[in-house]
């Protein structure tokens, strides 16, 4: 077994050696093949190097050609674009001429607006092309010139091509230098811009305000009427024209046209109201005006000022924003609006300032308050209309006018109080004891002032003035208290005036008649009115009605009490119990009584006046109650002595007393004046006091003669 194993190992060893020999043979062959391949690679490398050396000049030429092509294209392509722009310019100019011809013959307004809009679009296109030529022309020519110089210097192409390129450059340069300025300033574009300016002005002139009289009627009905001045199409065309003019360096011209035309239109709209009063505006000229004329002028000023702000200027501002709001200068439209309104507002302001600075006559107070109240109501709207920095100057002048009106109103009011006190020293009281004109004027003045129309503005004037004096942070009184205190001061001044005048009478009865008439007038004219409510009805009764009643009592005591005393019983009559009283003594008393009665009647007829019918009736009744019972008692006490004698009966005496208060009153020139039927006593016979007394005297003389 061992031998077999050895044989087997030898066989394997031989096989391994055989394989090794075969491997060595293959390796030798591979080495030989590699050597041959290396030789082939060396040969190929040598050939490639030779080819590369041969191709290198061609590659440089290709790169140079590519660079030259790029350089030429950079110059030629913009030049071709410039030539194309010249062609576009020519086509747009032809189109403009066609549209201009169509515009000139078109009569339909709406169709004409559409054609005008196309005309504006064409002008924009032409302007854009010309701007493009102007902007790109010089750089394009410069690049083309550089290429020509490069080709001439490097001789990169043949002489023929270089020469042709030079000629093209010269032609393009000449065209640019000769045509661009002409197209911009002297050509069809300039003519088109002039046409647009004319169209712009014509369209603005055609936009009119509605009839201002109708607008004023709407304002009086508390309705706001703000109309569009143009149609949507008209506004669109105007806006496009404005933008075109602005883009063509004609913005200043556009603004001048707009402001000039719209100012004239706004002024003409207001001139339809015939504001001739605005020509008079200095304080001296206003002082020379008749009061009725000035009153009318101020009323018109208030109406026209409100109309101008609420309608005319609102419409003008809206148009400014619609037409000029799209311009690059954002706030230019506001400045234009202020320019339009400034001159018109200046005319209104100077009239208002002239009124505020004129003489401070009492009757001006109400018109000053109306002006102030109208400005207060317009303040918020006015500030909104004249907004921004451009409207600051107009708003400042508006506030200055308000300050002037506050100052003037306050001065007029307080100077009126001073005038009331001052008249007590310079003017004599009424000679017949009637109510002075000053009192009548003052009471009606204050009644008018406390009405709803004037009380609120007057209180606001007082509050504003108080804030100026005490500062904004102060706490002013309520409007009602401020007005009440101010009017109470005037009433106190009036009372002092009355008391001062009453003390200047020489007649002992007239002061009481004067005070009675005056205080009764104040009370009766003030009760159940806003004046009475403001001061207080109870206060008015205590202050004025009580004073009038007290004076009435003193009048009766002074005028009629002495008459009654003549018929009162004396102690001697009571002791004698009528035995010593003779008919002559009794008739003497009656004679004295009627003489005194006649004297009182004459004084009332010639020197005393009680204008108020109700007051006269009350005094008549009180006098009848005072006199007639005493007279009746006297007749009854001496009826035996007077039997068969003719004498005035108590009923007749009652009528005679009524005749004293028969409703006649003297006017300022001393002549009798018949009052209304309220002052007469119903059922009274139309016999005079003097006639009754004469009849009594005749009957008495006949009795004595008998």
Given this model, what pLDDT does residue 123 score?
A: 87
Where is 642: in which H helix or E strand? Answer: none
pLDDT value, residue 690: 45
Distances (CA, A) of 649 to 196, 302, 474, 655: 106, 68, 74, 10
List, in order of start, the domains of the chain with CATH numbers. 61-186 (1.20.58), 188-211+228-393 (1.20.1280.170), 552-568+581-658 (1.20.1280.170)
The Cα 312–Cα 262 span in angstroms is 11
Q: What is the pLDDT of residue 442?
A: 93
Q: Tens of pLDDT along 585-638?
A: 777 888 888 899 988 888 888 878 888 889 989 999 999 999 999 888 888 887
Residues 6+ positions from 486 with CB-CB distance below 8 Å: 413, 458, 462
d(CA 623, CA 192): 101
> In angstroms, how far is CA 180 from the centroid of its own chain?
53
d(CA 329, CA 416): 55
Position 249 scores a pLDDT of 85
Query: For 202-206, which contacts have Cβ atoms below 8 Å and span 24 or more sequence positions?
Result: 203/230, 203/234, 203/237, 203/238, 203/241, 204/238, 204/257, 204/258, 204/261, 204/262, 204/265, 205/261, 205/265
Contact 78, 132 (CB under 8 A): no
In eight-state DSSP terms, residue 677 is G
> Which helix H or strand E contains 673, and what residues bound it?
strand 672-674
Predicted local confidence at residue 585, as pLDDT:
78
Q: What's 502-530 look like in SS3?
A: HCCCCCCCHHHHHHHHHHHHHHHHHCCCH
pTM value? 0.74
Longest dimension (CA), the chain: 228
Given a contact cutoff of 8 angstroms between Cβ atoms, the answer to whether 632 and 651 are in contact is: no
* Dihedral Cα 603, 606, 610, 613, nearest 10 deg: 110
- pLDDT given for residue 348 in this prediction: 95
Which of 102, 105, 132 has the alpha carbon at shortest distance from 117?
A: 102
Q: How many residues does the chain have?
A: 706
In this structure, what token pair is assigned to residue 371?
């002006």
What's the mean pLDDT when you consider all of the chain? 79
- Give the model's pLDDT for residue 189: 80
In this structure, are residues 548 and 540 in contact, taking their beta carbons and an 8 Å threshold?
A: no
Low-confidence ranges of the chain (pLDDT < 70): 1-30, 45, 47-79, 81-83, 133-138, 140-163, 165-167, 169, 172-186, 211-227, 424-427, 471-476, 569-582, 642-645, 663-706
- Can you point out the beta strands (E) in 592-667? 664-666
Alpha-helix residue ranges (DSSP H) falling in 106-211: 109-154, 159-181, 188-206
pLDDT value of position 346: 94
For residue 491, CA distances in Å to 219, 238, 418, 452, 533 come to: 38, 64, 12, 20, 14
């Amino acid at each position: 077994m061992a031998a077999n194993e050895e044989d087997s190992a030898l066989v394997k060893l031989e096989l391994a050696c055989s394989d090794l020999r075969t491997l060595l043979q293959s390796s030798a062959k591979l080495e030989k093949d590699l050597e041959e391949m290396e030789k082939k690679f060396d040969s190929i490398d040598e050939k490639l190097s030779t080819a590369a050396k041969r191709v290198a000049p061609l590659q440089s030429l290709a790169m140079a050609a590519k660079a030259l092509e790029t350089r030429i294209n950079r110059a030629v392509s913009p030049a071709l674009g410039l030539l194309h722009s010249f062609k576009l310019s020519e086509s747009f100019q032809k189109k403009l001429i066609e549209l201009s011809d169509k515009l000139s013959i078109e009569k339909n307004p709406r169709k004409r607006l559409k054609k005008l809009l196309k005309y504006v679009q064409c002008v924009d296109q032409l302007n854009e092309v010309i701007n493009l030529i102007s902007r790109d022309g010089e750089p394009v020519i410069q690049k083309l010139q550089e290429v020509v110089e490069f080709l001439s210097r490097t001789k990169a192409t043949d002489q023929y091509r270089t020469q042709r390129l030079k000629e093209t450059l010269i032609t393009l340069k000449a065209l640019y230098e000769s045509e661009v300025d002409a197209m911009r300033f002297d050509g069809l574009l300039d003519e088109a811009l002039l046409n647009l300016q004319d169209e712009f002005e014509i369209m603005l002139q055609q936009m009119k305000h509605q009839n201002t009289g109708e607008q004023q009627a709407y304002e009086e009905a508390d309705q706001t009427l703000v109309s569009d001045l143009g149609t949507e199409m008209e506004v669109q065309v105007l806006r496009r024209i404005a933008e075109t003019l602005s883009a063509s360096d004609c913005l200043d011209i556009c603004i001048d046209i707009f402001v000039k035309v719209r100012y004239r239109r706004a002024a003409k709209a207001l001139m339809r109201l015939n504001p001739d009063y605005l020509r008079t505006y200095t304080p001296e000229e206003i002082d020379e005006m008749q009061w009725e004329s000035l009153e009318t002028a101020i009323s018109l000023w208030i109406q026209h000022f409100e109309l101008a702000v609420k309608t005319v200027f609102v419409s003008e501002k809206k148009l400014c924003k619609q037409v000029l709001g799209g311009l690059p200068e954002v706030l230019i439209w506001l400045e234009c609006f202020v320019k339009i309104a400034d001159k018109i507002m200046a005319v209104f302001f100077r009239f208002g300032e002239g009124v505020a600075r004129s003489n401070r006559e009492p009757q001006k107070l109400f018109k000053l308050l109306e002006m102030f109240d109208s400005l207060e109501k317009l303040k918020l709207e006015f500030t909104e209309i004249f907004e921004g920095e451009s409207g600051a100057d107009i708003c400042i002048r508006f506030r200055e006018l308000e300050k002037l009106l506050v100052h003037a109103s306050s001065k007029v009011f307080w100077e009126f109080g001073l005038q009331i006190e001052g008249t007590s020293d310079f003017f004599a009281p009424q000679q017949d004891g009637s109510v002075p004109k000053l009192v009548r004027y003052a009471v009606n003045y204050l009644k008018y002032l406390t009405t709803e129309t004037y009380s609120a503005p007057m209180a606001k004037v007082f509050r504003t003035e108080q804030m100026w004096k005490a500062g904004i942070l102060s706490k002013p009184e309520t409007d009602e208290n401020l007005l009440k205190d101010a009017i109470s001061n005037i009433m106190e001044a009036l009372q002092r005036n009355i008391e001062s005048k009453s003390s200047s009478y020489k007649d002992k009865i007239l002061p009481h008649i004067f005070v009675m008439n005056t205080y009764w007038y104040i009370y009766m004219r003030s009760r159940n009115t806003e004046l009475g409510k403001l001061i207080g009805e109870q206060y008015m009764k205590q202050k004025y009605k009580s004073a009038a009643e007290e004076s009435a009592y003193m009048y009766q005591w002074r005028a009629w009490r002495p008459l009654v005393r003549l018929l009162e019983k004396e102690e001697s009559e009571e002791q004698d119990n009528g035995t010593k009283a003779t008919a002559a003594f009794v008739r003497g008393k009656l004679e004295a009584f009627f003489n005194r009665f006649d004297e009182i009647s004459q004084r009332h007829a010639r020197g005393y006046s009680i204008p108020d019918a109700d007051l006269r009736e009350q005094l008549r009744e009180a006098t009848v109650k005072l006199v007639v019972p005493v007279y009746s008692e006297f007749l009854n006490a001496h009826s035996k002595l007077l039997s068969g004698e003719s004498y005035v009966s108590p009923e007749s005496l009652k009528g005679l007393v009524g005749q004293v208060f028969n409703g006649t009153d003297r006017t300022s020139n001393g002549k009798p004046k018949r009052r209304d039927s309220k002052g007469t006593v119903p059922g009274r016979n139309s016999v005079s006091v003097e006639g009754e007394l004469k009849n009594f005297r005749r009957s008495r003389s006949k009795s004595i003669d008998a």
